[in-house]
Chain A
Amino acid sequence: MLKMTHLSKAYRTEVVETYALRDFSIHVREGEFVAVTGPSGSGKTTFLTIAGLLEEFSGGEYQLDGADVRGLNDNQRSRLRNEKIGFIFQAFNLIADLNVQDNIDVPLRYRGLNGAERRRRIQESLARVGLSARARHYPAELSGGQQQRVAIARALAGSPRLLLADEPTGNLDTQMARGVMDLLEELHRDGATIVMVTHDPELAIRAQREVHIVDGQVIDLAAHPRLIVGVQTHA
């Protein structure tokens, strides 16, 4: 599903070249639930934005669902992102002046779906996250947990092949975080491929597999026992 090989990402100024990712390789298979962990500044979010086609990479290869994404123009990347990827952000990133159903409608509009199809998908995804009754509420009228559920509904509405979650429970209290994680696990059980960036070992442990990043590189946890926080390959 997602395969990066010797990928690098460098930020250049006139005098300095800083690598956010270096010789970075990862392979996420269809149906996997992978947690990407690492300390702050290790390159987790950069990995996620490159994986989500929001940012270009400097070198290496990246194949998404079998397609080489290097050299795609903005329209092609946007279409691929719209059709294959669903995003879940730490800050929810709902659009404040759109109500719940209009927020979920956003990616469907860019997909060019007709009104009936959009309405069907919105209803289904809201039902999936248990918020059918809140369709006309605005984000400010919802709790943090509910907002994140709306964000998940928005990500699901487009039936993406890959869900990218960036610290999805980072802004939630323990109870709400548990609810969101339960939902992600349920989606995974239903066949979704999920890549979740987190610095929380307790969340990482709920993923199938953990990939640890330090200084922009994937670390083999078995070779660096002191970095081991939990079980790396989970049942």
Chain B
Amino acid sequence: MFNYYLRLALRSLKRNVVLTALMIAAIGVGIGASMTTLTVFRAMASDPIPQKSAQLFEPQIDNWGPLKHGEVTGESGSLPEQISYTDAMAWMNAHAARRQTAMYATSLALTPSNPEVRPFQVPARATFTDFFPMFDVPFLFGGPWSAADDADHADVVVITRELNDKVFGGANSVGKTVNLDNHDYRVVGVVDRWEPVPRFYDLNNDKYGKPEDLFLPFTRAIDGQMMMWGNNNCSGDVGVGWEGHLRSECVWLQFWAELPTSADAARYRSYLNNYAAEQQRAGRFHWPPHTELHDVREWLVYQHAVSDEVRILVLVSFSFLSVCLLNAMGLMLAKLLGRAGDIGVRRALGASRAAIFGQCLIESAVIGLAGGLLGLALTALGLLGLRSLLSDEVNRLAHLSPVDVGIAVLLAIVATTIAGLYPTWRAAHVQPAWQLKAQ
């Protein structure tokens, strides 16, 4: 009967083209509006590293004291989101996790070997070699530098595919040198396409932006006194000069630890608490030890990766979809009750209420499918509009994935079918005797 009902639905839709177009337009506009915001929301709220998000942890430590909680975040009770150089080095040297890395964003001036090309600034990240296997960074050529390079403060870099295209014309540049801030660095690896969204490992700046174009050993960056290009929050003594800055309680480094099992995470928590207690005993902290450990998904929530404005926008757009569906429901009711005579005849000829219900429900689903397809087109237009209006950062989020397409169509069909339940129920309860008497 499904095919029969489907044929009847298509025939019915053709019977009143204007009413059908209005219903499809109402659903399409609602789906378009809601999917535009939902697509952006999903990109913002998506798990950037689903295969490992439960194994990667960002530790926090209270090195400012409870009276200064929330000075950085503005939320009382919250710990600093970054850590000091003192803590970062202590945690790196402890090797308490399977893998760990401290890091910060910086920027270097790259002077191409071709004198006709002008030097340009390259966003860079100073980190440890564990960064690459921890975050499953894929390589096009070569690989990460070694732990020995970290220890030796080696002049080595990993560059992205884009930078490799720009500087080396896409050729394998492993072993070649790049000049950064008037110093030569050897390329050891070229990262293939890798764009986690949000950029979870450092949400301080450009949280939906691309990863940096270049990576170099943290130890080399510290040696080179490369300034951080991110948030640097200080409380109390900020220190004098570079060394003073390193010894200060300023928080400016991100730190990630890979802890494959829950037992590893529990052990690491103990380590952090013991470390904080040790710092208290040593007279550095004059308050009870306080540390926290968040995995990737918890960290995104903690850091408000999805802003409240976007959440409200999604809510508003789905409210709009509800209004559109109510509209469509009214039109469907008018359409189905306009066919009460035909329904009465079908009932007289042996159709049960369930049969009429099924027939009308399939008609609703067909309208939903058509509305969903229109909604998809409008979503694409909406995202195009967003791209032209908003920043590059948001542009990366404004694209339709196959999953988004599936969601749009499914949402349209399910929502329209639900909206069609009442009209369908009314149609199924048409009194055939009354209809036939009326005729």
B342 touches A109 (CB 8 A): no
Of A78, A96, A154, A158, the contact of B355 (CB 8 Å cutoff): A78
Q: Which of B1-32 contact A (CB under 8 A)?
A: 1, 4, 11-12, 15
B15 touches A97 (CB 8 A): yes
Kindly list chain B residues whose C-beta atoms are within 8 Å of the C-beta of A78: 347, 350-353, 355
Report if B345 contacts A (CB, 8 A). yes
B351 touches A110 (CB 8 A): yes
Q: How far is the CA of A83 from the CA of B354 in the complex (A)?
A: 17
From B436, which residue of chain A is reached at the shortest CB distance?
A89
From B7, which residue of chain A is reached at the shortest CB distance?
A102
Tally inter-chain residue pairs, CB-CB below 8 A: 71
Q: How far is the CA of A130 from the CA of B298 in the complex (A)?
A: 77
Kindly list chain A residues whose C-beta atoms are within 8 Å of the C-beta of B432: 49, 54
A110 touches B437 (CB 8 A): no
Report if A55 contacts B (CB, 8 A). yes
Report if A93 contacts B (CB, 8 A). yes
Of B350, B353, B439, the contact of A91 (CB 8 Å cutoff): B439
Of B1, B15, B355, B433, the contact of A55 (CB 8 Å cutoff): B433
Report if A95 contacts B (CB, 8 A). yes
Kindly list chain B residues whose C-beta atoms are within 8 Å of the C-beta of A110: 346, 349-352, 355
Report if B65 contacts A (CB, 8 A). no
From A73, which residue of chain B is reached at the shortest CB distance?
B352
Interface size class of B (residues with CB under 8 A): 20 to 34
Report if B381 contacts A (CB, 8 A). no
Report if B230 contacts A (CB, 8 A). no
A49 touches B349 (CB 8 A): no
Report if B348 contacts A (CB, 8 A). yes
From A104, which residue of chain B is reached at the shortest CB distance?
B349
Kindly list chain A residues whose C-beta atoms are within 8 Å of the C-beta of B349: 81-82, 87, 106-107, 110, 154
* Known A45-B437, A89-B439, A109-B4: A54·B348 in contact at CB below 8 Å: yes
Kindly list chain B residues whose C-beta atoms are within 8 Å of the C-beta of A119: none
From B4, which residue of chain A is reached at the shortest CB distance?
A109
| A123 CB to nearest chain B CB (Å) | 19
Report if A79 contacts B (CB, 8 A). yes
A81 touches B348 (CB 8 A): yes
Report if A111 contacts B (CB, 8 A). yes
A75 touches B341 (CB 8 A): no
Q: How far is the CA of A53 from the CA of B407 in the complex (A)?
A: 45
From B342, which residue of chain A is reached at the shortest CB distance?
A95
Q: How far is the CA of A96 from the CA of B339 in the complex (A)?
A: 11
A52 touches B348 (CB 8 A): yes
Kindly list chain A residues whose C-beta atoms are within 8 Å of the C-beta of B11: 97-98
Kindly list chain A residues whose C-beta atoms are within 8 Å of the C-beta of B353: 74, 78
| A58 CB to nearest chain B CB (Å) | 14
Kindly list chain B residues whose C-beta atoms are within 8 Å of the C-beta of A75: 352, 354
Kindly list chain A residues whose C-beta atoms are within 8 Å of the C-beta of B348: 52, 54, 81, 87, 93
Q: How far is the CA of A158 from the CA of B349 in the complex (A)?
A: 9
| B232 CB to nearest chain A CB (Å) | 73
Interface centre among B1, B346, B349 (most CB of A within 10 A): B349
Kindly list chain B residues whose C-beta atoms are within 8 Å of the C-beta of A97: 11-12, 15
B354 touches A95 (CB 8 A): no
Kindly list chain B residues whose C-beta atoms are within 8 Å of the C-beta of A94: 345
Kindly list chain B residues whose C-beta atoms are within 8 Å of the C-beta of A79: 350, 352
Kindly list chain B residues whose C-beta atoms are within 8 Å of the C-beta of A54: 347-348, 432-433, 436
Interface centre among B15, B347, B436, B437 (most CB of A within 10 A): B436
Q: How far is the CA of A55 from the CA of B355 in the complex (A)?
A: 18
Kindly list chain A residues whose C-beta atoms are within 8 Å of the C-beta of B341: 93
Kindly list chain A residues whose C-beta atoms are within 8 Å of the C-beta of B350: 78-79, 81-83, 107, 110-111, 158
Kindly list chain B residues whose C-beta atoms are within 8 Å of the C-beta of A158: 350
| B28 CB to nearest chain A CB (Å) | 25
Show 8 A/B contacts (Cβ-Cβ < 8 Å), sorted by A: A45-B437, A49-B432, A49-B436, A54-B433, A81-B350, A89-B439, A110-B350, A166-B436
Extra contacts, 6 of them, besides A78-B350, A82-B350, A107-B349 (Cβ < 8 A), are A49-B437, A54-B433, A75-B354, A78-B352, A78-B355, A106-B349
List the 5 closest pairs (A to B, CB-CB), nearest first.
Answer: A82-B350, A78-B352, A49-B433, A110-B350, A55-B433
